[in-house]
Amino acid sequence: MKLNGLLIGALVLISFGAKAQLITYTGLSNKYVYKINLVKNSDTTGYPRDSQDNLYIDSKINLYIFNKSKRLIQKISFTAGILFDSAYKDNKNSRSYITGKNKNADASDYDFGDLIIADLNFDGKEDVVVKRDSGGNGGPFYNFYIQGNNGRFYKENYLTTYVGSFPAYIEPKKKTITTQIHANVSQEGKKTFKYDIKTHKWHLIKWVMVDY
């Protein structure tokens, strides 16, 4: 408890001194409490994008995972890409397919949230998805972290590198996820990936274009 108290105190100090903010996410998990500390390294106001928001490049994101007893389980850190100023403003832009919180919220511009909790590899354990880039017409890009048998989370490289977008459809019975994002002025690209529970690997099984 003393260690956790020192950690939280340090994070609060950081939030005042380094263009950072600490956001606590509750109600997304039956097992964990998530906290995100965003350190905005580079303000690029006026960068040519469609959004009117300010932009930040090469920001650092720290994800802290606590159990319900407030004990720190794990810290995950990574460097983000381009983030709109609207990213990580508060804990409202989040959703959980575990508890159902904001599950059916509108995903405007393919944005499913800054932090998403879902079981993506169909093993009954919650996984963590964190926004790493606000993206463009196709929506944000995410880092995917799969929960291991030891309760810790590990980066899923295939989903992070080759999928990137959060899936619009998750089908546990078929062991598939499907992304559907902007492709051109009249169509969206719809990709379906299947998870092999024996090899623990993902494969693209279908890619079609659909009209708006």
Q: What is the mean pLDDT of residues 187-197?
A: 97
Supply the pLDDT for residue 185: 92
Domain-wise residue ranges, the chain? 2-211
Nearest CA to 127 among 32, 25, 199, 204? 32
Supply the pLDDT for residue 32: 97
Nearest CA to 210 among 168, 173, 176, 170? 168
What mean pLDDT is reported for the chain? 89
- The rounded distance, in Å, linking the Cα atoms of 156 and 93 is 22
- The rounded distance, in Å, linking the Cα atoms of 200 and 153 is 15
Cβ atoms 196, 142 nearer than 8 A: no
Q: Is the pTM of this model over 0.75?
A: yes
Which pLDDT band holds residue 42 (cuts at 50, 70, 90)? low
Look at 62 and 19; give whichever has higher pLDDT.
62
Supply the pLDDT for residue 53: 56
The amino acid present at 180, given as its one-letter code, is Q
Each residue's pLDDT tens digit, 199-208: 999 999 999 9
Supply the pLDDT for residue 21: 74
Given a cut of 80, whether residue 43 has pLDDT beyond it is no
Count of C-beta atoms within a 10 Å radius of residue 201: 10
